[in-house]
Structure 1
Amino acid sequence: MAQITSFTVDDLKETMRTCAGVNEAVNFDDDIADVTFEDLGYDSLAVLEMAAKLQNHLGVVIPDDAAEQLPTPRALAEYVNVRLAG
């Protein structure tokens, strides 16, 4: 299996679709990169679930306190990319 070296908001959308708290009204085809998770209908538990799934899938450590400080899909994707590059 090839090592993942970059992670995009589109990649994150796939994980977002599977997490608790997904709002059926969210159109993942829209540009949601800078929309807050809260405005997308994701509560803190759903964000922590996303972080845990990404950790398991990518091997990137995302501490709970860090996940809670990442307000948008773009911020989370950038956090993951920094860790993948490091």
Structure 2
Amino acid sequence: MSSEVKTFDVGDLRRILREGAGADENVDLEGNILDLDFEDLGYDSLARLETGGRIEREFRIKLADETLTEVATPRALIEAVNAQLRSTPTG
């Protein structure tokens, strides 16, 4: 039984954004998106909630609704997800 904590990275976020909300044709998700505002990337609060739901199901965590509506950048969301992953018991 492994005690290794899974981490969530920008690759996971890119994949989940594409699967859940699609990608704006004018935005290059493969570029350096970490500090760009989600709104500038074409993802409104509803798209972030959909993304959060997908993250919760895949990574078996629970994110506060405030986290999903208040995070402004991919970096902030990745940090919030990883903080939740570290605090969630594995088993």
TM-score after normalising by structure 1: 0.88
What does residue 18 of structure 1 align with? 19
The AA in structure 1 aligned to 2:54 is K
C-alpha RMSD over aligned residues: 1.6
Aligned residues: 85
Query: Which structure has the greater CA radius of gyration?
Result: 2
Change (3 A) 1:58 1:4: farther
The AA in structure 2 aligned to 1:17 is R
What does residue 58 of structure 1 align with? 59
Residue 43 of structure 2 is aligned to residue 35 of structure 1: no
What does residue 6 of structure 1 align with? 7
Ranges of 4+ aligned residues in structure 1 off by more than 4 Å: none
Alignment identity in percent? 39
> 1:25: Cα distance to partner?
1.5
Residue 80 of structure 2 is aligned to residue 69 of structure 1: no
What does residue 85 of structure 1 align with? 86
- Tell me, in whole angstroms, the C-alpha distance in 2 between the residues paired with 1:21 and 1:48: 14
- Unaligned 5+ residue runs, structure 1? none
- Tell me, in whole angstroms, the C-alpha distance in 1 between the residues paired with 2:45 and 2:22: 9
Change (3 A) 1:60 1:17: same
> 1:4: Cα distance to partner?
5.5
